[in-house]
Chain A
């Protein structure tokens, strides 16, 4: 069909122009917002974006000194604002997630390693403050057996007071290419066998965790 063909040509075109760092950051932001767990921090991407923002800010000063047209300056300002919004929102979503799953993130090395240095510091300080607050207000007043932040009582075998991200949350994703069974974790081979390109799929997050980490799908 003619419409389908032109749609796929458009997609290829989109793929070509979508390689700017802003586009990558937007993708990272969307994935981070949609995923139930915290994802790997995009350190080099964030670094590059920060450098580009700094450069744009310097340019702005040069524009002002050189009496460039106000219209042009305002357009550059808009571009800068949009990029800054994206970066802030990305960092903020991550902080929210860290706060939400604070204790879980700290006791799980896999998660802890996904954080940036600053985020790790934030998580540690947050835990300290929250821990001492809970101690002072509640835990210290309870009987000895119930004073743990992580456990309901000392008879608990696991840390059963630590909320963990729910990996069985359903997310909506779109594959960038056709995915076969090999792209998914073997343990979910019963649930998911393939995914068509560009088809919106409502799916359990843990089924698509692997292709997401490999950059083969995007969450929307």
Chain B
């Protein structure tokens, strides 16, 4: 993909984005009795069998892996909703509202909680289709931007991260050239504002 350059260029690794996604709240139905957990990141529980509880995704997955709960599929991951989103996604240029971390959340649930997802294959292929349509949109959007600020509604974490390096540098170049047109004498502009930082030191020695 266009934005996929050197991995050190993208600010957040996919693992780091997954780490952030794991803090999203998820509903679980525990099958054990457990006292409240007073974590550094917040208090959860107490847990009683068959009583739904809200916990961060990482905790839900940890309990799930030990067979201590079932995870309730988030409402946006229902087949009806995903079908609707996919259609709207295809019909419009805009991005449909989805959780910021929809790719990571769905991926984690597919990997670790497949038996809790009714119509697993349907859900999975819908999410993949949505992702493809959206990534395609991201790519075509890249052809369009020109302004010095660009806004996107409802773009998700992974999508942002993929285009970050490429789009960032492109916009920076636009910005630089725009300003050059206004102040053709860049050397003088630099002298006036020595604060304007440059990553690379000037190669040429002072002409004087």
Within 8 A of A (CB), among B91-105: 97
What size tier do the contact residues of chain B reach? 35 or more
Q: Kindly report which residue of chain A lies nearest to residue B178, judged by CB atoms.
A: A191
CB distance from A173 to the nearest CB of B (A): 10
Q: Report the nearest A residue to B54, measured CB to CB.
A: A17
Selected contact of A202 from candidates B37, B39, B171, CB within 8 Å: B171
Q: Which residues of A contact B58 (CB under 8 A)?
A: 78, 82
Check if A17 sits within 8 Å of B34, measured CB to CB. Answer: no
Residue of A nearest to B172 (CB): A170
Please tell me if B198 contacts chain A, counting CB pairs below 8 Å.
yes
Q: In whole angstroms, what is the CA distance A49 to B39 when docked?
A: 12
Task: Name the one of A78, A104, A162, A163 contacting B62, with C-beta atoms under 8 angstroms.
Answer: A78
In the bound complex, residues from chain B placing their C-beta under 8 Å from that of A33 are 11-12
Known: A83-B40, A202-B151, A207-B149. A165 touches B197 (CB 8 A): yes
List of A residues within 8 angstroms of B208 by Cβ? 155
Any chain A CB within 8 A of the CB of B206?
yes
> Nearest Cβ distance between residue B92 and chain A, in whole angstroms?
14
**Partner pick for A196 among B34, B41, B151, B197, CB 8 A cutoff:** B151
A3 adjacent to B97 (CB under 8 Å): yes
User: Please, how many angstroms separate the alpha-carbon atoms of A200 and B39 in the complex?
Assistant: 31
A162 to chain B, nearest CB (A): 7
- Known A4-B97, A82-B58, A200-B152; 14 more pairs at CB < 8 Å: A21-B40, A53-B40, A76-B37, A79-B41, A104-B197, A155-B205, A156-B206, A158-B194, A166-B199, A168-B175, A170-B171, A201-B149, A202-B149, A204-B171
CB<8 Å pairs between A and B, sample of 5: A17-B25, A34-B11, A71-B34, A156-B205, A204-B148
The 5 A-B pairs of least Cβ separation, nearest first, read A164-B197, A79-B39, A22-B41, A170-B168, A202-B150
B-side residues, CB < 8 A to A, are: 11-12, 16, 19-20, 23, 25, 34-35, 37, 39-42, 58-59, 62-63, 66, 68, 97, 145, 148-153, 155, 157, 160, 164, 167-169, 171-172, 175-176, 194, 196-202, 205-206, 208
